């Protein structure tokens, strides 16, 4: 199963969580995100292990392994904080 299929499967398995979550965003580890190009420009997600904090870093790239939970979006090439 490729990353895009895993992403879709994880979202499908999270229906109950999404129903209880007011904004419907599913949280991922950075390593579990599909590629930004596969997700497509404008795709949004949330990661829980960013090495970069959201504050003051809008549109910055990031890596996993950190302790920051941040919203992210795909620009079609890379995932960015925002």
Give the closest residue to 79 by CA, choosing from 53, 48, 41, 22. Answer: 41
Sign of the Cα torsion 49, 34, 82, 17 reads negative
pTM beyond 0.75, yes or no = no
Terminal C-alpha separation, the chain: 28
Domain that holds residue 72: 3-81
Give the closest residue to 40 by CA, choosing from 73, 6, 5, 13. Answer: 73
Number of domains in the chain: 1
Q: Which helix (H) or strand (E) holds 48?
A: strand 44-50
pLDDT tens sequence for the chain (82 residues): 677 788 777 777 665 555 555 556 778 999 999 999 988 999 999 999 999 999 999 999 999 999 999 999 999 999 999 9
């Amino acid at each position: 199963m490729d990353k895009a299929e895993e992403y879709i499967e994880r979202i499908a398995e999270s229906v109950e969580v999404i129903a209880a979550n007011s904004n419907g965003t599913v949280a991922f580890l950075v390593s579990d995100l599909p590629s930004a190009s596969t997700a497509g420009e404008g795709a949004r997600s949330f990661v829980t292990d960013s090495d970069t904090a959201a504050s003051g870093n809008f549109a910055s790239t990031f890596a996993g392994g950190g302790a920051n939970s941040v919203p992210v979006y795909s620009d079609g090439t890379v995932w960015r904080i925002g």
